[in-house]
Amino acid sequence: MNKSGITTNRISIEKPQLGETAAGKSGFTLLEVIIAVAIIGSSLAILLGAVNKNLLLASQSKNITIASFLAQRKMGEIEVEGFPEIGNQEGVFEEHPEFKWYLSVQPYNIEQLGTEIRLPGMRGTGSLQLRQPYRTTDKGFTLIEVLLAIFIGSIVLTVLYSSFFQINKAKDRIEEELDLYHESRIVMSKITRDLSTAFPRGLVNSTRTNIVTPFFLGVSENGQSKLSFTSLSRNPTQNAKESDQTEISYYLEPIQDSDLFALMRRDNPTMETDTGGTQYPLSERVVSFNLTYLAKIPDNGETPEFSSEWNSNETLSLPAAVNVNIVLRNPRGEDIPFSTMVVIPVVN
């Protein structure tokens, strides 16, 4: 009421501050929404980077497997061809031209034996602390801000989804290849171990034998190899009346409704019998399995001559080396060859 006795009503209207609603409640601003989307995009990018790193490690594991096969084969060739001369040599593998080999032969000083070599160790501790201060409010945002945030988020998610789809596809492919190379490594390792412990049963300190069954028989049927030999690779069961002598066989069995084969391994401690022992498949995606045999280590300058069959009843000996070639098929229908050479120590 003023001096004249008239009552006056006053209404005060205040303009809401930026980022506040008329109700006075606070919410997220456009800048905060964009930062949140950027954080999400960065997090997904880091995760995709980790997946990509895993793919690179898987590819490196594949290359290491191939390199180990090639190195083992090269060492076998060196043993077969004779000790190289002093000096350096290098070259590439014909079946894998992306891999190179280097050979260095240097005179060895016998006085170096017993020299103590110490490798420095690495010690260290570290910690990584991530602290993300955040603040939640009740601020609201306008329709334009929502549309801009959705637009930016959709672009980021589209790019990330496309990258994730491609990386996931590459991941599945590399995992399939790793399974194949892992399987081939197991097969080659098993064959190498068995052949390395082969022995001429019945020919110890003698040039004649009364054993009818060959102690090393390798034949080729329909373009595929079959091998049977005596070996010392068996691990006897504890408290069992068994020795480490056994008859090892490798052969192929066709897979029903498929053009592939199963590579079978038979371990029979009761030698010269067709019954007994255990047999199991080493691989069920074999395209071909071929073995060739070297009669003797050639002299310097001579070319090694391999044969596709071997019968110890005719040769009265073991082969000096066996060349193993196997072709496996991956899930995409591609045939991948693997090869190695196994030198039989007892012959040399």
Alpha-carbon distance of 217 to 193, in angstroms, equals 17
Confirm whether pTM is higher than 0.85.
no
Q: pLDDT value at position 268?
A: 87
Backbone torsions φ then ψ of 195, nearest 5 degrees: -70, -35
Q: pLDDT value at position 128?
A: 40
Beta-carbon count within 10 A of 83 CB: 9
Q: pLDDT value at position 93?
A: 77
Residue whose C-alpha is closest to residue 266's, from 251, 255, 286? 251
Q: Which pair of tokens denotes residue 266?
A: 């038979």
Beta bridge partners of 342: 322
Q: pLDDT value at position 203?
A: 58
Question: What pLDDT tens digit does each residue of the chain (348 aa) get?
Answer: 555 555 555 555 555 554 444 444 556 666 777 777 777 777 767 766 766 666 676 667 777 777 777 777 777 777 666 667 777 878 887 777 778 877 777 776 655 555 454 544 444 444 444 444 445 555 566 777 777 777 777 777 777 777 777 777 777 777 777 888 888 888 999 999 999 989 887 655 555 656 678 889 999 988 899 999 998 888 777 776 767 788 899 999 999 888 999 999 998 887 766 667 788 999 999 999 999 999 887 776 677 788 999 998 888 889 999 999 999 998 888 898 998 888 888 876
- Letter string b/e over residues 95-109, b meaning 16 or more CB atoms within 10 A of that residue's CB: eeeeeeeeeeeeeee
Q: pLDDT value at position 206?
A: 55
Extended strands (E) in the chain? 87-92, 100-105, 216-221, 224-231, 246-254, 261-268, 278-294, 306-307, 310-311, 321-329, 335-343
Whose tokens are 């068996």? That residue is 234
